[in-house]
C-alpha cells in the first residue's frame, strides 16, 4: 500500500490569500484519511480555524438521465448539442437516505435551459431553447465515489406539469423578464411558471423554494404534485414581494430538531442594505420569525453588499446551519465560502414581521482556496454530522452567443443588444455584425456538473 502522502493529490487553483496550506502533521493526516476512502481526486485542505478538511471531487455519471432534448431548428445549436443539453441537477440538495457508504439525495433542476437575451421594449429577456421543459427534482445516488441520477420527477400543478417560463410583466410574480424562443420570437408568459432553486425533505413532504413568487411549494415526492404553497403575505413576509429580479428563494432547509423550515432570499432586497432576509417558520401554523443574515460590505466589490448571493443552506439542528455565501469580492473576483450560521432559540412570532433578529456567522471554509472553480455553488446537504455534499448549477451546459448573417459567432454580450422585428439591432455596445443569437456550449470547465464531498475532523454542530 502506498504511503499516505503518495495516495493523495493536491488539485485546484492556489489560494488567493495567504497561500495554499498543506497539512502540517503527518499523524493528523493519517488519522483523517483512515476515516474515509480517498480517491485520486481527494485533497487535504485547511479550514478557517486551521484544521484539516478532506475534500473529494466525486465522479459524475449522468447515465440515461443525462440529457434534455433540443427540439428547435437552429443548425448551430443542433451541432453544439447533438445529444441534447446536459442535465443540471445541482440547484438544490437535501439528504434522502443513507445506508452505509450509499447516500441518496434529493436534487433539483432550476427552470430549465435558458440564457441571456437582448432587450425587448426596454425589458430584460431570456432565451428558452426548450420552452416546454418542465422543472423537476430527482434522486441522485453517491456510491463508491460515483454520483448518478436514478430518477427524475416533473413538478406538477393541478392539471399539468409546470413550466419554467417567466410570469407576465404586470403580475405579482414578475421578475421583469420577457421570454424568447431560440428564433428570438416572443413566448407567452406563464403565471403558473416556477423557477425552483432550493429543496428540503421533512420525511414526508418535499419543500421547494422558487424565485418567481417567491414561494415555497409543498410537493408530494412520489408524484411531483404541488399540494400547497407559502407565499408573501401568506406564510412568508409580504415584504418579500419586493425581492430583486432573479434573487428569490435560493435557500431552504428543514431543521428536524425544531420541526421548522428555514428560508432565505438569495440577496438583500435593496442593494444598500447589509443583510439578507431569513425566516424560520412552522409549515403547519404558518407562524414565522424573521432574521437578518449579516453581510460584511468590505468583502464585496465597491463595498456593495448587493454583490453578495447566498447559494444554499444545510441544517445542523437546533437553529444552526451551514450557508454558501458567494459573489464578486473586493478584488473583483468570484468568491465562494461556507459559513456557520446561528440564530437564537426564540419563540416564533405571528406573521407580523416585527422584531427582526440579527444572526451570527463564522467563516468555516473558503471554497476557492479548497480548489472550487465553478461559477455557481448552489446545492448543499449534510449527510452526517461532519460531512457535507456540495454541487454547482451548470446551467445545462449552455450559454447565448451573438451570431452574424452566416451563423458565425460574434464577440460581445447579447444583453447589450436590443431586438426589433425579430432581429438584433446593433448599437453603442452591440457589435455591428450581430444579427441574431444562438444557444452554444459552455466550456467543459464551466458547463460540467461538480459534486464535492467535504469532510471535517469533528461534528460541525460542536464547532
Cβ distance 262 to 276 under 8 Å?
no
Q: What is the mean pLDDT of residues 264-271?
A: 94
- Scanning the structure block, which residue is given the C-alpha cell 460541525? 460
* Alpha-carbon span 461 to 383, nearest angstrom: 13
Give this prediction's pTM.
0.90
Which helix (H) or strand (E) element contains residue 281? Answer: strand 275-281
Q: What is the mean pLDDT of residues 390-412?
A: 95
**DSSP per-residue letters across 210-227:** ETTTTEEEEE-TTT-BEE
Residues 99-147: tens digit of each pLDDT: 999 999 999 999 999 999 999 999 999 999 999 999 999 999 999 999 9
Domains, the chain, in order of start with CATH, read 57-400+436-462 (2.115.10)
Beta bridge partners of 81: none
Phi, psi of 20, rounded to the nearest 5 degrees:
-85, 130
Residue 352 has pLDDT above 50, yes or no: no
Q: What is the mean pLDDT of residues 13-28?
A: 34
Residues 319-328: tens digit of each pLDDT: 999 999 999 9
Closest of 314, 304, 260 to residue 461, by C-alpha = 314
* Alpha-carbon span 224 to 106, nearest angstrom: 12
- Count of CB atoms within 10 A of residue 341's CB? 25
Query: Which of 60-64, 122-126, 278-282 shows the lowest mean pLDDT across its residues?
Result: 60-64
Closest of 215, 202, 217 to residue 255, by C-alpha = 202
Band of the pLDDT at 33, cuts 50, 70, 90? very low
**DSSP per-residue letters across 146-196:** EEEEEEEEE-B-SSSBPP-PPPPTTSTT--SEEEE-TTSPBPPP-TT---E
Residue 345 has pLDDT above 80, yes or no: no
**DSSP character at residue 391:** E
**DSSP character at residue 120:** B
Phi, psi of 213, rounded to the nearest 5 degrees:
-55, -60
Cβ distance 41 to 11 under 8 Å?
yes
Question: Quick one: CA dihedral 88, 136, 68, 403, positive or negative?
Answer: negative
Residues 65-80: tens digit of each pLDDT: 778 999 999 999 999 9
Interior angle at CA 245, CA 278 and CA 72, nearest 5:
125
Amino acid at each position: 500500500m502506498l504511503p499516505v502522502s503518495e495516495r493523495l493529490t493536491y488539485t485546484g487553483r492556489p489560494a488567493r490569500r495567504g497561500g495554499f496550506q498543506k497539512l502540517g502533521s503527518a499523524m493528523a493526516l493519517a488519522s483523517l484519511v483512515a476515516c474515509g476512502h480517498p480517491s485520486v481526486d481527494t485533497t487535504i485542505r485547511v479550514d478557517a480555524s486551521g484544521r484539516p478538511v478532506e475534500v473529494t471531487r466525486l465522479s459524475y455519471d449522468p447515465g440515461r438521465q443525462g440529457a434534455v432534448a433540443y427540439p428547435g431548428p437552429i443548425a448551430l445549436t443542433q451541432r453544439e448539442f447533438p445529444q441534447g443539453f446536459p442535465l443540471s441537477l445541482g440547484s438544490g440538495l437535501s439528504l434522502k437516505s443513507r445506508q452505509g457508504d450509499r447516500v441518496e439525495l434529493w436534487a433539483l433542476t432550476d427552470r430549465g435551459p435558458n440564457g441571456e437575451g437582448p432587450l425587448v421594449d426596454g425589458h430584460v429577456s431570456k432565451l428558452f431553447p426548450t420552452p416546454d421543459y418542465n422543472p423537476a427534482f430527482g434522486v441522485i445516488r453517491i456510491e463508491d465515489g460515483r454520483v448518478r441520477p436514478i430518477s427524475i420527477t416533473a413538478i406538477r400543478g393541478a392539471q399539468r406539469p409546470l413550466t419554467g417560463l417567466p410570469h407576465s410583466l404586470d403580475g405579482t410574480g414578475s421578475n421583469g423578464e420577457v421570454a424568447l424562443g431560440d428564433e428570438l420570437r416572443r413566448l407567452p408568459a406563464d403565471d403558473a411558471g416556477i423557477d425552483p432553486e432550493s429543496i428540503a425533505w421533512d420525511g414526508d413532504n418535499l419543500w421547494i423554494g422558487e424565485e418567481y413568487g417567491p414561494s415555497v411549494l409543498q410537493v408530494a415526492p412520489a408524484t411531483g404534485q404541488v399540494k400547497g404553497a407559502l407565499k408573501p403575505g401568506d406564510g412568508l413576509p409580504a415584504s418579500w414581494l419586493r425581492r430583486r429580479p432573479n434573487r428569490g428563494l435560493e435557500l431552504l432547509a428543514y431543521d428536524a430538531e425544531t420541526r421548522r423550515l428555514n428560508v432565505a432570499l438569495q440577496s438583500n432586497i435593496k442593494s444598500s442594505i447589509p443583510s439578507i432576509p431569513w425566516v424560520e417558520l412552522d409549515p403547519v401554523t404558518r407562524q414565522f420569525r424573521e432574521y437578518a443574515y449579516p453581510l460584511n460590505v468590505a468583502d464585496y466589490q465597491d463595498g456593495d453588499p448587493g454583490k453578495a448571493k447566498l447559494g444554499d443552506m444545510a441544517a445542523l439542528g437546533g437553529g444552526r446551519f451551514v450557508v454558501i455565501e458567494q459573489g464578486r469580492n473586493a478584488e473583483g473576483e468570484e468568491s465562494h465560502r461556507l459559513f456557520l450560521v446561528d440564530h437564537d432559540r426564540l419563540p416564533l412570532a405571528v406573521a407580523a414581521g416585527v422584531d427582526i433578529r440579527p444572526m451570527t456567522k463564522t467563516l468555516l471554509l473558503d471554497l476557492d482556496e479548497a480548489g472550487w472553480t465553478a461559477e455557481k455553488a448552489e446545492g448543499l446537504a449534510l449527510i452526517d454530522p461532519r460531512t457535507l455534499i456540495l454541487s454547482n448549477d451548470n446551467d445545462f451546459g449552455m450559454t447565448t452567443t451573438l451570431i452574424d448573417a452566416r451563423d458565425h459567432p460574434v464577440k460581445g454580450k447579447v444583453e447589450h443588444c436590443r431586438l426589433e422585428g425579430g432581429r438584433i439591432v446593433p448599437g453603442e455596445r452591440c457589435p455591428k455584425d450581430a444579427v441574431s443569437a444562438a444557444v452554444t456550449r459552455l466550456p467543459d470547465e464551466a458547463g460540467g456538473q461538480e459534486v464535492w464531498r467535504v469532510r471535517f475532523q469533528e461534528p460541525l454542530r460542536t464547532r
